[in-house]
Amino acid sequence: MDVNFRKIDIDQYDEDVLNEEELYEPDRRDPSQVLNDTKAKSAAVRSALSKGDTVGALSTVLDQAPYGPNVEEAKNLNLQTLVSILNTTKATEIPGIVKALSTDAQDTLMKYLYKGMALPGWGDVSGSVLLGWHEKLTEAAGVGCIVRAMTDRRTV
Amino acid sequence: MSGPEVFPLAQIPITSHAFNADRSQVAVSLNSKDVTIFARQGQEWKATETLSEHDKVITSIDWAPNSNRIVTASQDRNAYVWQQTSDPQTGNTIWKPTLVLLRINRAATYVKWSPNEDKFAVASGARAIAICSFDPEGDWWVSRLLKKPIRSTVLSVDWHPNNVLLAAGSADMKARVFSAFIKDVDKRPAPTVWGEKLPFNTICGEYTSPSGGWVHSVGFSPSGDVLAFASHDSSISIVYPGGPAMYTIKMPSLPLVTLTWTAEDSIVAAGHDCQPYVFAGNQGGWDLVGTLDDPHSQKSAAGGRSGFGGGSPVGRLNSAAFNTFRNADSRGISSLPGSPISPGSTESELFTVHQNTITTVRPYDGAPGAVTRVSTSGMDGKLVIWNVGSVTPINGVAGLTAKIAGLNLK
């Protein structure tokens, strides 16, 4: 179905047009810096996981998660790192882990859960694992957490 | 402490409500183009007058307590100031409307009298706020527009006690503080924490919640030195401009859409969660302390409120909501808020006093800074008056989310 019923970009004639990037604080880091940070975090997560510290690993990956334009590679890498944590956690441990996260980390985790659900079949994303986390996270952080995942323009 | 006074005024949403000075009358708009004035008779409110002049749905009402004038804003892009005069023919007292030239090309969304009642501000969808003042020579209300740097619909405004500064919450995710200084009306204001020199349209501050979201409601503290705003990311933020500090409380529940300060250290806010929450704090930090809506006392005292989860266990699959849909499907029973309670439909009632989103909270009793009672109205057609003192603590996130579970599925 052709949904582009409007062929002309009328916004370009509007002086007052509100651009996406004006709606949130941009990430001050350079895109290459973001990618390096994300790679370093990925390594830190692996070592934390080998020690069995899932809360530490999750907090690391959710801290300063890449957002905004021009950082697609870092975003994908961070999602991959996060999914590896989610997939290796036992279902019985999830409630304790999500409760131990900071509220900021909980909000970011919710964003990633929705992102993962929007990418069926991407990497080793598994819908049932994401839904399990989603249920426990909502119990711990409330529906406000979901509302924030929807309103936040800093998409991960 | 006595419980809240609950008045079901209608079975349709109440867009806005405003009391007169002695609280004997209330002007409400029942989601229509008319204003209905209710007068209190004992424990009941009786509709006494209808103010009809707008062409489209009224969005906001404000009643100036001292000058006894009502101002209304509507989607028809107009505002009217209503004043009581005697009808030359019959001699009866009637409300006479005066059109205000707003010069906006989108709906008016919110209106508020200034503290001195010599100006009012009209927020609009035209990315502008009209500051209206009376011109005695022309015998009409004229407006000046605050435009820059608003990028989207303005959803609410609030006046600083000095009659000059104006806070505005907007759909471009920002809460702003402007100067609305009008030369012919205002004397030069004393310096405040927001600035010293304040010509018209000075921007004294611009704030946003970390997770964004439309700013639904703004409010200056009684002293005017602190600003609070509620946004659609289920958070409420309190700004100390001198700090410079901003405290953001993330709620585990649905977004708040209206707020009012009851004291310099206390805020009551309500919204899609159908109950008024109380926040307390100071320069050192702010916290959610509880709700004015105590489900337990209500359940035993007033039988009118259904026992949510009282009879049936509420599990993960909310049985109340499940039953609602099953009844609607198999028996054709729908339980609209405010409809007569039949035995089958009580299950689907919320545990809160309000049965739908609260859209307005206003101070009801007490001087600014020492408000003892607040009034709320909402989509369920109810008007409720609450004691600010009777706060029920919330037992952590779990208590809150468990309660909300019923709400989501409604």
Q: Which domains does chain A have, with CATH numbers?
A: 29-151 (1.25.40.190)
Prediction ipTM score: 0.88
Task: Enter the tokens of residue B154.
Answer: 């303005």
* pLDDT band at residue A21 using 50, 70 and 90 as cut-offs: confident
The answer to the question of residue B340 being in a domain is: no
The per-residue pLDDT for B409 is: 38
**Token representation of residue B272:** 């899609």
Asked if pLDDT for residue B72 goes beyond 50, the answer is yes
Judging contacts by C-beta atoms under 8 Å, the chain B residues touching residue A107 are: 211, 250
Would residue B371 count as lying in a domain?
A: no
Token pair 């739908």: residue:
B356
Q: How far is CA B356 from the centre of its chain?
A: 14
| Residue B399 in this model has a pLDDT that exceeds 70 | no
- Residue A28's identity, in one-letter code, is R
Chain A residues within 8 A of B173 when measuring between CB atoms = 23-24, 153
- What per-residue confidence (pLDDT) applies to B319? 64
The range of the structural domain enclosing residue B161 comes to 10-297
Tell me how far apart the alpha carbons of residues B235 and B213 are, in angstroms, rounded to a whole number: 9
Q: Is the pLDDT of residue A3 over 80?
A: no
- Which has more pLDDT, B333 or B103? B103
* Within a domain: B362: no
For B197-343, where are the E strands, in sequence order? 203-207, 215-220, 227-231, 235-240, 245-250, 256-263, 266-271, 277-282, 285-291
DSSP of B345-385, one letter per residue?
TGGGS-SSSSSS-EEEEEEEES-TT---EEEEEETTSEEEE
pLDDT at B331: 61
Provide the pLDDT confidence category of residue B340 given band limits of 50, 70 and 90.
Answer: very low
Answer whether residue A117 shows pLDDT above 60. yes
Question: Could you tell me if residue B100 is inside a domain?
Answer: yes
For residue B110, the cross-strand partners are: B123
Q: Which of B265, B254, B196 minimizes the C-alpha distance to B228?
A: B265
Query: Does residue B211 fall inside a structural domain?
Result: yes
For A148, the closest of B152, B211, B400 (CB atoms) is: B211
Q: Report A:120-149 residues touching B (Cβ under 8 A).
A: 138-145, 147-148
Integer CA distances (angstroms), B224 to B116, B135, B235, B256, B401, in order: 15, 28, 21, 21, 34
Comparing CA positions, the residue from B144, B26, B120, B118 lying closest to residue B71 is B120
Three-state DSSP class for residue A60: helix
In the structure, what pLDDT confidence band is assigned to residue B243 with cuts at 50, 70 and 90? confident
Predicted confidence at residue B351, as pLDDT, reads 87
Q: Is residue B265 predicted with pLDDT exceeding 50?
A: yes
Residue B339 has pLDDT above 80, yes or no: no
What CATH number has the domain bearing residue B246?
2.130.10.10
Peptide bond into B244 cis (omega under 30): yes
B397, pLDDT greater than 70: no
**Radius of gyration over alpha carbons of chain A, in Å?**
17
| Widest Cα–Cα separation across chain A | 57
Nearest CA-CA distance, residue B408 and chain A, Å? 9
| Residue B374 maps to a domain | no
Calculate the alpha carbon distances from B108 to B123, B124, B269, B307 in Å: 6, 4, 23, 40
Q: How many C-alpha atoms does B302 have within 13 Å on its Cβ side?
A: 15
Instruction: Report the number of distinct structural domains present in chain B.
Output: 1
Band (B65; pLDDT cuts 50, 70, 90): very high
Kindly report the average pLDDT of chain A as a whole number: 91
Distances B66 to A124, B22, B260, B291, B378 between C-alpha atoms, Å: 67, 10, 20, 32, 26
Residues of B engaging A, defined by a Cβ cutoff of 8 Å = 127, 151-152, 172-173, 208, 211-214, 231-235, 250-255, 397-398, 400-401, 404, 408
Q: How large is the average pLDDT for residues B230-240? A: 96
Please write the tens of the pLDDT for every residue from B297-337.
654 333 334 333 333 333 455 566 776 776 677 665 555 54
Residues 6+ away with beta carbon under 8 Å from B231: A151, B169, B173, B175, B208, B209, B212, B213, B214, B215, B216, B237, B255
Residue with tokens 């806005």: B16
Q: Over the stretch B211-225, which tens digit does the pLDDT of each residue have?
A: 999 999 999 999 999
Q: Which chain B residues are within 8 Å of A26, Cβ to Cβ?
A: none
Nearest CA in chain A to B232: A151
Is B137 within a domain?
A: yes
Contact (CB<8Å) B211/A143? no
Question: Is B157 within a domain?
Answer: yes
Confidence band of A17 (pLDDT split at 50, 70, 90): confident
